[in-house]
């Protein structure tokens, strides 16, 4: 009798275990146990910090400070520097009397090729030219390298375009030392826009990108209209042989973020003081990077896509 009772209890226990196992199996969801899918990569990169790491010489993420995280530029602020919402984290908020001066231009003194990359969110220029960044030239009206916004004029019927400009002075000895270049940037008013300028000393080719798309560039001597990826001449392009613009030698002793070299107090050049047609940058800036080489189109695309995702 005792044996039959034990068999009965064992049977009930087995049924209970079987039921429990069956219940667990029915509730199993393989999706919850599947390994997380890797994040998509762009151009073989999964993080913006991995793009040409050895060539990145300055980086400002503006997460509550205007400090170069690589330590190559040390700045002094003017005015009340504030921060707004950025593409990722915080962003530099420009204002009429605010800017950052770097008494030593750091890597700017040795740049031969370069890439400038940053996000901007800018209001309309409203008649004034707006300085974004400059490596100064202490003996000239214009800086060694100036990046700024100007007025698109009557060719902007939709009212959504910014005129993005780049000026360079090459003191390497080429006959044609200065160039003034511009690109129209559509759909760029009060919206985050990724801007990149690349210059390659080996080929003398310059590119300006908006959201990873190469823009036409106007102002190249010897070329009419706007051209994507033009080659800059270092001598009169109507006379052969043409000297290439070649490796840069920027005659710089300082740098400024958020305004022009002549809008600072005191001025960063002996050739000019504040101009009535110029103003400080009044929009937002984020993820400002300087490389000592020209990034490829694929790398620019990867940088745009990764930074857009906060990676």
pLDDT tens per residue across span 33-83: 455 566 778 878 989 999 999 999 999 999 999 999 998 898 999 998 999
Band (19; pLDDT cuts 50, 70, 90): very low
Supply the pLDDT for residue 159.
82
How many percent of the chain have pLDDT more than 70?
87
Band (12; pLDDT cuts 50, 70, 90): very low
Which of 25-34, 70-79, 175-184, 246-255 is the least confident region? 25-34
Average pLDDT of the residues in 129-143: 97
Average pLDDT of the residues in 176-196: 97
302 vs 61: CA distance, rounded Å: 17
10 vs 16: CA distance, rounded Å: 10
Angle at 147 (CA atoms; ends 146, 149), nearest 5 degrees: 130
Band (22; pLDDT cuts 50, 70, 90): very low
Sequence-distant (6+) residues with CB within 8 A of 302 are: 42, 43, 44, 45, 48, 51
Sequence ranges of the domains in the chain: 2-33, 48-308
Q: Domain 48-308 is in which class?
A: mainly beta
- In sign, the C-alpha dihedral spanning 84, 87, 92, 95 is negative
**What is the enclosing helix (H) or strand (E) of 18?**
helix 2-27
Higher pLDDT, 254 or 41: 254
Average pLDDT of the residues in 147-152: 93
pTM: 0.87
Q: How many CA atoms lie within 13 A of 61 on its CB side?
A: 11
Which of 15-19, 32-36, 100-104, 252-256 is the least confident region? 15-19
């Amino acid at each position: 009798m005792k044996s039959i009772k034990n068999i009965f209890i064992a049977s009930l226990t087995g049924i209970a275990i079987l039921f429990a196992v069956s219940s667990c199996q029915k509730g199993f969801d393989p999706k919850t146990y599947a390994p997380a899918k890797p994040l998509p990569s762009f151009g073989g990169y999964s993080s913006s910090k991995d793009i040409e790491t050895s060539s990145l010489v300055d980086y400002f993420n503006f997460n509550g400070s205007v400090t170069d995280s690589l330590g190559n530029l040390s700045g002094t602020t003017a005015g009340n520097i504030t921060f707004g919402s950025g593409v990722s984290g915080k962003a530099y908020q420009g204002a009429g009397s605010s800017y950052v001066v770097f008494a030593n231009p750091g890597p700017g003194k040795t740049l031969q090729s370069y890439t400038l990359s940053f996000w901007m969110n800018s209001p309309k220029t409203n008649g004034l030219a707006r300085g974004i960044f400059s490596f100064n030239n202490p003996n000239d009206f214009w800086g060694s390298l100036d990046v700024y916004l100007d007025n698109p004029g009557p060719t902007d019927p939709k009212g959504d375009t910014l005129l993005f400009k780049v000026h360079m002075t090459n003191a390497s000895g080429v006959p044609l030392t200065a160039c003034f270049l511009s690109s129209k940037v559509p759909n760029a008013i009060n919206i985050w826009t990724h801007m990149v300028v690349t210059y390659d000393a080996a080929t003398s080719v310059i590119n300006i990108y908006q959201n990873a798309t190469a823009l036409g560039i106007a102002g190249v001597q010897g070329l009419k209209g706007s051209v994507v990826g033009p080659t800059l001449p270092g001598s009169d392009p109507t006379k052969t042989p043409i000297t290439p613009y070649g490796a840069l030698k920027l005659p710089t002793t300082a740098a400024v973020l958020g305004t022009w070299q002549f809008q600072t107090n005191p001025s960063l050049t002996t050739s000019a003081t504040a101009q009535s047609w110029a103003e400080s940058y009044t929009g937002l800036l984020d993820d400002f990077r300087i490389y000592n080489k020209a990034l490829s189109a694929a790398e620019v695309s990867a940088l745009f896509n990764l930074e857009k995702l906060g990676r």
